């Protein structure tokens, strides 16, 4: 017990006396959360440029154009006189959508016929496509409703009836958990959870590589200490540092960014504990592969982006092959990101994410054993 | 004069390049970073995004009406390829609970008296409570539910008004005075396999290129072999830079072609532009990241520090490249940062040339920017590189 405590303290000394490990265990944790969200700080994409090709040039077509322009998602930046001109601009990327109003537009509406406008939208990027279409549908819907109410009123219907006669069934969409559809709110929490795992893997790998490089036996931990104490003592040092990070990131920084925090804090802590331990033991288990100080970063850096996608947060797991989903469970981040988002952003209870939690506990146990084997080998002990 | 220079260059260059190839072949780590791991990362994305469009996402329905009409809407929801009505719930709370458990992505409320109210013309409201935490899925689900309700609504409207003996076309006009005819350009099936795979693969590749470039120079400093390298090259810095980098340039360019060919060979992949532009862009992309790599290592003259800087630069690049969130929506600083990433220009060229079929002139500025990185990176680091390789004070630091 005393040994374990010594190793624990000694590990702090090792971490704090190495500028390389400080940069990973502290520098990254401080810089990333401020740098990474920068592209997303506006949260919602607005004012996507579109062109209106108005062949009608009537009062009604100009009214529709004004309504399109005043929609916050899109911005009518070009009023082209010919479709080809607008299309060239679309291909060149100056605009992302075209609304074509035909010559007969006003005439048809005044006659009580249906006028058809054509919309050409750039679908090469999902978000742009979505914003352009919802902007146009919303503006056109408002315009249509105005026309229809006028018609009904002209026929002497009561206004209320006129309104309700518009659609036999209406749909009310109620987005839950990220009501405004903010992009930072969507991406950043997931990435920060991943960052905890990745910095642990790289940082612990760096320390192991450094120790090998410098030659063994210099630190006290290699003498007369049980392997379990050695593994746990080191692990507690990392764990305690990361619990401070957890409080900083999810307790303070999330408030700063106004990210939702719907979960029960106790559930969140209980979920994060095995996430951190599983990551730490995994890091210790693989740290034997790193024979130099820099190798862990060289090899592990690329894993971040695939790991985010494997967690299923942007692409549903049900659309990936089962074998890949099963294999991905070996990474703590796969169930870790998913479970964290469900608890913190959606307000699920620990019981609701019981599967995720169970996997993390299982990984903690398995990786602990592997860590013992790996550390035993690294410290060259029977 | 020209010949004299190249005669002087050649022996140094030949020595450096054969030395580098030998190092590459004798160190397993080198092959791992240059060939194995990039291919593994490509394969991961091919497998993840292979279906292209998600299917059968479970949703639940709270049918408080339980009439022919409500059952018909339920069947229509189930019939979409995206959605699958996996369960009937008995309250909204019950449906939300299923969402919290991760078993369902939405609850659709079909209100009491739905059928009656439709017939009375009261315009009853169907409510779609959907999980928007996972934004991409949330918008796909809402899009399809909206489409189902619109279709159902249109059908009903038509039949109700026809009962009132209006002409069918006139009835249509009453439904919507203005109808929208939608033309989806550049990606007609809204298949994001192309987009995501085509952009994530270069995002992976740039990580490997920059890390490897930093590594092959940094390791010479760290292990103190820089002096030997310098001597062997005859003190020729051009020979050193070219000789050490070209073997990797070749491998990464081939990998770049490989990822492009893989995409282009997929049936239905929209390639409408100029292949030559994409080829040139891929080559410049590789050289640009190598140039930035030598810039970083010559600036820091420390392998570990250079790797940290390269890691920071390359691992955040995807977020700034405009794939996930378009550049036009970013704040100024992020826009500036994204303009400092070769990835941004490569991805733009890729999308312009493959999906949009843009004319060559659209991509020329992007190709120029990529060349800029190459020139800038090499010019800025040449002199300092010469100094640090030749000065033992910079060796052995980590």
Overall residue count recorded for chain B in this entry: 398
Strand pairing of A115-122 and A97-101? antiparallel
A18, closest residue in chain B (CA to CA): B398
Contacts across the A-B interface (CB distance below 8 Å): 337
* pLDDT tens digit sequence for B14-54: 888 888 888 888 888 999 999 999 999 999 988 888 776 78
pLDDT of A86 higher than 60: yes
A354-378 helix and A332-341 helix, angle to the nearest 10 degrees: 150
CA distance A1 to chain B (A): 35
Query: Of the ranges A151-155, A209-213, B164-168, B169-173, which is most confident?
Result: A209-213
The pLDDT, as a whole number, for residue B2 is 40
Binned at pLDDT 50, 70 and 90, residue A382 comes out as very low
> Which range, of B195-204, B284-293, B332-341, averages the lowest pLDDT?
B195-204
Mean confidence (pLDDT) of chain A: 88
Report pLDDT for B208. 96
Which of B29, B48, B141 to mutate to probe the A interface, most A CBs <10 Å? B48
A247-255 mean pLDDT: 91
B contact residues 278-317, partner A, Cβ 8 Å cutoff:
303-304, 307-308, 311-312, 314-316
The structure's pTM equals 0.89
Q: For residue B5, name the pLDDT band (cuts at 50, 70, 90).
A: very low
The two three-digit tokens of residue B350, written as one number: 């890729």
Name the closest residue on chain A to residue B41, using Cα atoms.
A306
Closest CA to B141 of B51, B195, B81: B81
Report how far apart, in Å, the C-alpha atoms of B89 and of each of A139, B57, B62, B86, B93 are. 35, 16, 5, 10, 9
pLDDT band at B191 (very low <50, low <70, confident <90, very high): confident
pLDDT tier at B118, thresholds 50, 70, 90:
confident
What residue spans of B178-236 are helical by DSSP H?
Answer: 192-222, 226-232
pLDDT at res. B162: 63
Q: Measured between CA atoms, how close is B16 to chain A, in angstroms?
A: 23
Give the pLDDT of residue A327.
Answer: 94
Say yes or no for a CB contact (<8 Å) between A112 and B170: yes
Alpha helix segments (H runs only) across B325-359: 332-339, 342-350
The predicted model gives B204-214 an average pLDDT of 96
**pLDDT exceeds 70 at position B3:** no
Asked if B163 is an interface residue toward chain A (Cβ–Cβ < 8 A), one would say no
User: Cα separation of B140 and A219, whole Å?
Assistant: 56
Do the Cβ atoms of A177 and B358 come within 8 Å? no
pLDDT bin (cut points 50, 70, 90) of residue B4 is very low
**Comparing A192-201, B98-107, B329-338, which segment has the lowest mean pLDDT?**
B98-107
* A184 confidence band (pLDDT: 50, 70, 90): confident
Q: Supply B294's token pair.
A: 């030598």
Q: Which element (helix H / strand E) includes B65?
A: none
Query: Does B180 touch chain A if contact means CB atoms closer than 8 Å?
Result: yes
Q: Rounded to whole angstroms, what are the CA distances from A208 to A217, A242, A290, A365, B357?
A: 13, 18, 7, 21, 50
Mean pLDDT is lowest, of A90-99, A350-359, B13-22, B266-275, for B266-275
Half-sphere exposure of B360 (CA within 13 A, CB side): 6
pLDDT at B374: 94
Taking CB atoms and an 8 Å limit, are A171 and B149 in contact across chains?
A: yes
CA distance A146 to chain B (A): 9
Most A CBs within 10 A among B185, B189, B209, hence the mutation to make, goes to B185
| Interchain proximity A45–B146, CB inside 8 Å | no
Across the interface, whether the CB atoms of B358 and A341 are under 8 A apart is answered no
Answer yes or no: do B48 and A23 touch at CB < 8 A.
no
Percent of chain A with pLDDT over 90: 50
What's the whole-number mean pLDDT along residues B221-250?
86
Q: For the beta carbon of residue B296, count every other beta carbon within 10 angstroms.
A: 23
The pair of three-digit structure tokens given for residue B154, joined into one six-digit string? 């249109």
Residue pair A268/A344 in contact by the 8 Å Cβ criterion = yes
Coil, strand or helix at B296 = helix
Q: What mean pLDDT comes out for the span A313-340?
A: 91
Whether pLDDT at A262 is above 50:
yes
Segment A167-196 mean pLDDT: 87
- Kindly tell me if the per-residue pLDDT of A14 is higher than 70: yes
Place of tokens 């030998």: B22
- pLDDT tens track for B308-323: 999 999 999 999 998 8
- Chain A hits for B45, CB-CB cut-off 8 Å, are 306, 309
Residue B81 per-residue DSSP state? S
pLDDT at B283 over 80: yes
Q: What is the mean pLDDT of residues B81-85?
A: 88
Give tens-digit pLDDT for B125-147: 888 999 888 888 888 898 889 88
* Residue A45 backbone dihedrals phi, psi, to 5 degrees: -80, 125
Average pLDDT over residues A312-316: 84
Average pLDDT, stretch A13-39? 92
Q: Which of A57-71, B74-88, B153-167 has the lowest mean pLDDT?
A: B153-167
Across A83-93, average pLDDT: 87
Average pLDDT over residues B333-358: 92
Q: Which residue of A has its CA nearest to B158?
A: A168
Q: Are A169 and B126 in contact (CB under 8 A)?
A: yes
Q: Strand B106-110 to strand B57-63: parallel, antiparallel, or no bridges (unpaired)?
A: parallel
More confident residue, A224 or B181: B181
């Amino acid at each position: 017990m005393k040994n374990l405590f010594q190793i624990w303290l000694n590990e702090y000394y090792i971490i704090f006396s190495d500028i390389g490990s400080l940069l990973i265990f502290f520098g990254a944790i401080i810089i990333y959360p401020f740098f990474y969200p920068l592209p997303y700080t506006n949260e919602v994409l607005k004012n996507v440029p579109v062109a209106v090709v108005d062949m009608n040039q009537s009062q009604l077509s100009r009214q529709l154009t004004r309504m399109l322009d005043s929609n916050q998602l899109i911005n009518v930046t070009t009023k082209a006189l010919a479709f080809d001109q607008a299309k060239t601009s679309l291909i060149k990327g100056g605009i992302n959508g075209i609304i074509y109003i035909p010559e007969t537009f006003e005439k048809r509406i005044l006659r009580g016929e249906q006028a058809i406008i054509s919309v050409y939208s750039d679908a090469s990027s999902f978000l742009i496509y979505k914003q352009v279409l919802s902007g146009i549908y919303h503006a056109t819907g408002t315009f249509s409703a105005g026309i229809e109410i006028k018609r009904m009123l002209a026929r002497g219907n009561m206004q209320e009836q006129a309104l309700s006669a518009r659609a036999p069934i209406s749909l009310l969409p109620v987005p839950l958990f990220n009501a405004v559809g903010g992009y930072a709110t969507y991406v950043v929490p997931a990435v920060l959870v991943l960052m905890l795992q990745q910095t642990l893997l790289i940082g612990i790998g760096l320390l192991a590589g450094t120790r090998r490089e410098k030659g063994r036996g210099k630190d006290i931990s290699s003498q007369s200490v049980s392997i379990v104490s050695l593994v746990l003592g080191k692990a507690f040092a990392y764990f305690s540092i990361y619990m401070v990070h957890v409080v900083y990131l999810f307790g303070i920084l999330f408030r700063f960014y106004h990210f939702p925090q719907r979960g029960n804090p106790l559930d969140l802590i209980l979920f994060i504990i095995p996430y951190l331990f599983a990551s730490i033991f995994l890091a210790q288990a693989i740290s034997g592969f790193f024979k130099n100080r820099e190798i862990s970063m060289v090899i592990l850096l690329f894993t971040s982006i695939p790991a985010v996608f494997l967690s299923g947060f942007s692409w549903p797991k049900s659309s990936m092959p089962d074998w890949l989903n099963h294999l991905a469970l070996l990474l703590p981040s796969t169930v870790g990101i998913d479970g964290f988002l469900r608890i913190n952003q959606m307000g699920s209870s620990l019981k609701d994410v019981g599967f995720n939690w169970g996997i993390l506990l299982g990984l903690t146990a398995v990786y602990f054993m592997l860590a013992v084997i790996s550390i035993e080998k690294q410290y060259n002990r029977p | 004069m020209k010949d004299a220079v190249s005669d002087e260059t050649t022996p140094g260059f030949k020595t450096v390049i054969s030395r580098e190839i030998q190092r590459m072949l004798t160190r397993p780590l080198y092959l791992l970073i240059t060939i194995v791991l990039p291919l593994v990362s490509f394969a991961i994305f091919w497998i993840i995004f292979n279906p292209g469009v998600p299917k059968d996402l479970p949703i639940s329905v709270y049918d408080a009406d339980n009439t022919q009409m409500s059952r018909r809407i339920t069947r229509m929801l189930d019939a979409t390829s995206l959605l699958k009505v996996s369960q009937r719930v008995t309250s909204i709370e019950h449906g939300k609970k299923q969402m919290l458990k991760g078993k369902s992505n939405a609850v659709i409320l079909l209100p009491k008296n739905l059928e009656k109210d439709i017939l009375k013309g009261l315009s009853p409201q169907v409510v779609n409570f959907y999980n928007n935490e996972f934004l991409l899925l949330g918008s796909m689900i809402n899009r399809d539910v909206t489409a189902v309700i619109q279709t159902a609504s249109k059908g009903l409207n038509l039949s109700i008004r026809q009962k009132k003996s209006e002409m069918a076309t006139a009835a249509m006009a009453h439904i919507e005075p203005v109808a929208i005819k939608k033309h989806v350009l550049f990606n007609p099936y809204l298949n994001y396999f192309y987009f995501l795979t085509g952009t994530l693969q270069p995002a992976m590749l740039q990580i490997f290129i920059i890390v490897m470039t930093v590594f092959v120079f940094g390791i010479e400093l760290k292990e103190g072999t820089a002096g030997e390298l310098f001597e062997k090259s005859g003190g020729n810095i051009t020979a050193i830079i070219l000789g050490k980098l070209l073997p990797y340039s070749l491998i990464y360019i081939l990998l770049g072609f490989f990822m492009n060919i893989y995409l282009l060979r997929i049936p239905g992949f929209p390639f409408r532009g100029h292949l030559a532009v994409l080829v040139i862009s891929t080559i410049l992309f590789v050289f640009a990241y190598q140039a930035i790599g030598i810039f970083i290592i010559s600036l820091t003259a420390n392998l570990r520090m250079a790797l940290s800087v390269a890691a920071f630069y390359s691992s955040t690049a995807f977020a700034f490249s405009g794939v996930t969130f378009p550049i036009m929506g970013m704040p100024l600083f992020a826009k500036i940062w994204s303009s400092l990433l070769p990835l941004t220009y490569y991805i733009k060229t890729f999308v312009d040339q493959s999906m949009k079929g843009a004319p060559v002139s659209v991509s020329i500025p992007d190709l120029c920017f990529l060349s800029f990185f190459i020139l800038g990176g090499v010019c800025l680091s040449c002199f300092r590189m010469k100094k640090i390789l030749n000065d033992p004070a910079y060796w052995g630091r980590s």
